[in-house]
Structure 1
Amino acid sequence: MDSTITDSSYSWTRLALTLLVGTVINAGMWAIIVIMPAVEAEFGGTRAMASLPYTATMIGFATGNYVIGRAVDRFGITLSLIIAAVVTALGFGLATFSTSLVMLSVAQLIVGFASAVGFGPLIADISHWFVRRRGIAVAVAASGNYLSGAIWPIVSAGLLENSGWRSVYFLMAAVTLAVVIPLAFALRRRVPEEAQAAANHASAINVQSVGLSPRALQYLLGAAGIGCCVAMSMPQVHIVALCVGLGFGPAVGAQMLSLMLLGGVASRIVSGLLADRLGGVRTLLIGSCLQCLALFLYLPAGGMVSLYLVSLVFGLSQGGIVPSYALIVREYMPAREAGARVGFVMMTTILGMALGGWLSGVIYDISGSYTLAFVNGIVWNGANIAIMLWLLSRSKPRTPVAVPA
């Protein structure tokens, strides 16, 4: 018999199921990247036009984090997951009937919106079940997103080559329904009221020490999220293009991106362990400083070996940043609003990625080089560091106590 509700054997089992759900349903975010070359070949148009479905996916994913997060607060994760899985599958199915990039973009907007349940909302849900080990739990849950991006392209590569991208989407729709819906029922247990009450008490003390309302702190974290993710997007979005420009080819750039993602998974786990000792603000500040250092290292890197090394360093530096926002939300904001609050901050980080990817392209078009784009990322990263230093100087968060079963 577990002595507590939180950090119990059930909590760890639930975390394992959460990671599996996230790895499957987050495929909706990465699907369009997998099929983009085939889509461009089929529908034609410019590179910018072929990128519209990806942009629509990210808009949907950002919005879904907030909207579905609010739904989780009200209806629980089980119903939210079931509806999201069905809608994701319908989006995949609609995409297979696309006869134009516009129609595909609409389908991808739906896919991105519904599959967002596997990121912020799922992270918020698992955070209720841990206190002492909340950092590592959130980190593991957030890793489902990166694992999905690392696994799905490999799994679908053969089918894509032999049967086309529509077969890949049919497979993704079938797997989403077959895996996510049964697991959603396995997650139907709700956190008892006394556990939420203890967490609400601790967060109220923390936010009072900062001198901000929960809403104001949420917006401050949103601004910080935009800053760090504008910086983060430069290597993640443009590393392939950078390698092509240097004459290394797209395959080398894709390998560097995979190296970043795998490094990001490792970084998330280590950051989660660190957060259990230092708290979310300190952990985020460390990750942000390391990311800024990695961006500086990109400036002199021009050879293939140096770019591989710096890309690995970048991945190992930044992976724990985004999950740390969820920890800060739980440390400073009411538990009953975790889905909406975490979803909002996750939404701003995704919008930061979208903004940063666009800004880097504009800077490259103007300057003919990615050097100033990296400098732009460093400046935005500096703004994030400044916000975290201010928040750290204002308060010392207290951890909610575990509640007896």
Structure 2
Amino acid sequence: MTLTFPLTGRGTHADIDGAYAWVRLAIGTLLATIGGVGMWAVIVVLPAVQAEFGAGRAEASLPYTATMIGFALGNVFVGRAVDRVGYWLPALIASVVLAAGFALAATATSIVQFTLVQAVIGVGSSVIFGPLMADISHWFARNRGIAVSIAAAGNYIAGTLWPVVMPYMMAHGGWRFVYLASGVICLVTMVPLALMLRRQRPSGEEHVTNLARPAQSISLSPGALQALLVVAGLGCCVAMSMPQVHIVAYCVDLGYGVPRGGEMLSIMLAAGVVSRLASGYLADRIGGLRTLLVGSTLQCLALFLYIPFDGLASLYVVSLVFGLSQGGIVPSYAIIVREYMPAAEAGQRIGIVILATIAGMALGGWMSGWIYDLTGSYAAAFLNGIAWNLLNMAIAFLLLWKSGMARPQPA
């Protein structure tokens, strides 16, 4: 039997948790897998860019920081646009911006130019994360946790594939060739995929959602809850950034080379896909707050393992453990927003929290490079990440206490 769906118009109540919702999720995840190159490319080319421009480790970390700033701001403003006009048009515009950013970065003649253009790449890539999770959350009620996590996993799938492919592309054409090729791939694939998502979210969706999952209560105002989620997002991602941003450079320093570092990053993110899916399944049963606490605790424990183990084989294993620990943390914020805040504000509110998580990645990426330049080692940078992780855990405990430890009602 062949399933066909209209590409335009507005969805119906029957589409929520229905066949079209899963098809839309599949298209969105593919879009995120391709567009996620905007986040991960700079990590792979960092050593080559640093060598070409003669930059220090902290200075060479600034392009990643600029990427995350653009990505963070894009999540807020694109998320707000998605609340107003739907997903497909912002996705279409962002795809073109992303492709143009790669082309411009490939022509950079200084670390300053490269850094500025990376901010543009970050804005273009932002549409595949927070805005996509917000859009997908409108098409699911019973299975929202797993659906949002699958959408978020597209970014990690990108991180699994691109860091493995790019070092071999660099070996044949250099980092500039990698950037030009990435821009072309984004343009010819993401634009058609965005056009396939022109259907608007179902009208009256919030009523259907409330029937399937009543709003959870918490003894905090929406503003206070938003503020605490922002601080929590900052803390968890300063911690998360240490291995994700610097694992390739760390391997170069240890003498293992860029390909080995790229493989470790891919293992970490492939494990993160598994973690995100498992966390989504868990969130549908125990709620977003408990899922956040579980993920944050496991991430903290995994960070400790990087300090004593720096052998090649052990780093592969620790990277696997870290990926399995932390993948579900960020999607948990989107689920918490939908559980405790109005659906009509999902895009903007999720975008604000994602801004904080990306600001944490940006701050943590730069901070780890700065600590490395000061100490000549990454050991202190790992300890810094652990401290920020403990802040996230404290906020998760506070929010659970404020919610009265009430188990969410089953869908």
Residue 265 of structure 2 aligns with an amino acid whose one-letter code is: L
Q: Deviations over 1:299-355 (max 9, x none)?
A: 332433333222211110001111111111111111111111111111111111222
8 A contact 2:13–2:205 mirrored in 1: no
8 A contact 1:57–1:112 mirrored in 2: yes
Is 2:286 the partner of 1:278? yes
* Structure-1 separation of matches of 2:271 and 2:340: 29
* Equivalent residue runs for 1:379-398 within 5 Å: 379-395=387-403, 396=406, 398=408
* Cα shift at 1:226: 1.0
Match of 1:99 among 101, 106, 109: 109
Residue 319 of structure 2 aligns with an amino acid whose one-letter code is: S
Distance 1:6 1:93, change over 3 A: same
* Equivalent residue runs for 1:5-404 within 5 Å: 5-199=15-209, 205-206=215-216, 209-395=217-403, 396=406, 398=408
* Structure-2 separation of matches of 1:253 and 1:57: 20
Q: Deviations over 1:348-372 (max 9, x none)?
A: 1111122223333344444554333
Q: Deviations over 1:61-80 (max 9, x none)?
A: 11111111111111110110
Residue 287 of structure 2 aligns with an amino acid whose one-letter code is: G
8 A contact 2:53–2:110 mirrored in 1: yes
Distance 1:291 1:34, change over 3 A: closer
- Residue range with higher mean Cα deviation, 146-155 or 11-20: 146-155
- Residue range with higher mean Cα deviation, 22-31 or 7-16: 22-31
* Structure-2 separation of matches of 1:71 and 1:255: 36
Residue 125 of structure 2 aligns with an amino acid whose one-letter code is: S
Unmatched tracts of structure 2, length 5 or more: 4-11
* Structure-2 separation of matches of 1:264 and 1:353: 16
- Residue range with higher mean Cα deviation, 350-359 or 316-325: 350-359
Tell me the SS of whatever aligns to 2:15. coil
Distance 1:335 1:399, change over 3 A: farther
8 A contact 1:203–1:332 mirrored in 2: no
* Structure-1 separation of matches of 2:328 and 2:52: 38
8 A contact 1:203–1:333 mirrored in 2: no
8 A contact 2:139–2:201 mirrored in 1: yes
* Structure-2 separation of matches of 1:226 and 1:44: 31
CA RMSD of superposed structures (Å): 2.6
Q: Deviations over 1:201-242 (max 9, x none)?
A: 999942xx3122222211110101111112212222333444
Q: Deviations over 1:282-310 (max 9, x none)?
A: 11111111111212333332433333222
Tell me the SS of whatever aligns to 1:51. helix
8 A contact 2:167–2:258 mirrored in 1: no
* Cα shift at 1:198: 4.2
Pairs aligned (count) = 399
Distance 1:349 1:341, change over 3 A: same
- Residue range with higher mean Cα deviation, 138-147 or 31-40: 31-40
Residue 271 of structure 1 aligns with an amino acid whose one-letter code is: S
8 A contact 2:160–2:267 mirrored in 1: no
8 A contact 1:89–1:177 mirrored in 2: yes
Distance 1:11 1:298, change over 3 A: same
8 A contact 1:231–1:376 mirrored in 2: yes
Distance 1:336 1:201, change over 3 A: farther
Instruction: State the identity %.
Output: 59
* Structure-1 separation of matches of 2:105 and 2:249: 27
* Structure-1 separation of matches of 2:76 and 2:341: 16
Distance 1:185 1:243, change over 3 A: closer
- Residue range with higher mean Cα deviation, 257-266 or 230-239: 230-239
Tell me the SS of whatever aligns to 1:98. coil
Distance 1:400 1:309, change over 3 A: closer
* Structure-2 separation of matches of 1:275 and 1:133: 10
- Residue range with higher mean Cα deviation, 95-104 or 381-390: 95-104
* Structure-1 separation of matches of 2:373 and 2:172: 37
8 A contact 1:123–1:326 mirrored in 2: yes
* Structure-2 separation of matches of 1:245 and 1:167: 25
8 A contact 2:103–2:179 mirrored in 1: yes
8 A contact 1:204–1:334 mirrored in 2: no
* Structure-1 separation of matches of 2:390 and 2:57: 32
